[in-house]
Amino acid sequence: MLVKQPPPLNTSTLTLSSGPLPPPEVLAQYENITPGAAERIFFMAEKNQRIREKTVNQEHERKTRGQHYALLVVLAALGVCAFASFNGDSWTASVLGGVTVCSLAVVFVLERHPNFQAFGEAMTKKKE
C-alpha cells in the first residue's frame, strides 16, 4: 500500500518596523554590507526630524499670526459697529456686527471640518 505524504509546508516570516530607523539587527546587516551605512541612516533620520520640527513650528507660527490678524479685524469691525450704533445708525451697526459674528462662526465650524485644510491648501496653490 502506498501512503501519500503531505506536501512540505512553506513558511515565511514578515517583519514590520515602524519609525525612521530599522531594527538593530537590520541596521547591523546594512553595516556589514556597506561600512558606514548605519551612520548615514542615523544622519538621514536626524535630518528628517529637524525638517519635520521646522515645518510644525512654521505651521504653528502661521496659525498664530492668522489668529492675531483675525482678532484685529474683528475688534476693528466691532469698533465701527459701536461707533455707528452710538451715532444712531443701527442698521449699519447690526449688519456689520452680524456679518462679523457669522463669519467668525463659519470659520470656527469649517476649521473642524476634515476637508477645510485641503480647501485652504487648494486656494493657496491657486494664488501662487
Cα–Cα nearest to 107, from 82, 61, 70: 70
Whether residue 16 lies inside any domain: the answer is no
Q: Where are the alpha helices (DSSP H) in the chain?
A: 24-33, 37-86, 90-111, 116-127
- State the residue range of the domain holding 94: 27-127
Whether residue 12 lies inside any domain: the answer is no
pLDDT one digit per residue (tens) for the chain, 128 residues: 677 877 778 888 888 888 888 888 889 999 999 999 999 999 999 999 999 999 999 999 988 888 888 888 888 988 999 999 999 988 988 998 898 888 888 877 777 776 766 666 666 666 55
Q: Is 70 helix (H, G, I), strand (E, B) or coil?
A: helix
Whether residue 105 lies inside any domain: the answer is yes
Whether residue 77 lies inside any domain: the answer is yes
Q: Could you give the number of structural domains in the chain?
A: 1
CA dist 22 and 41 (Å) reads 9
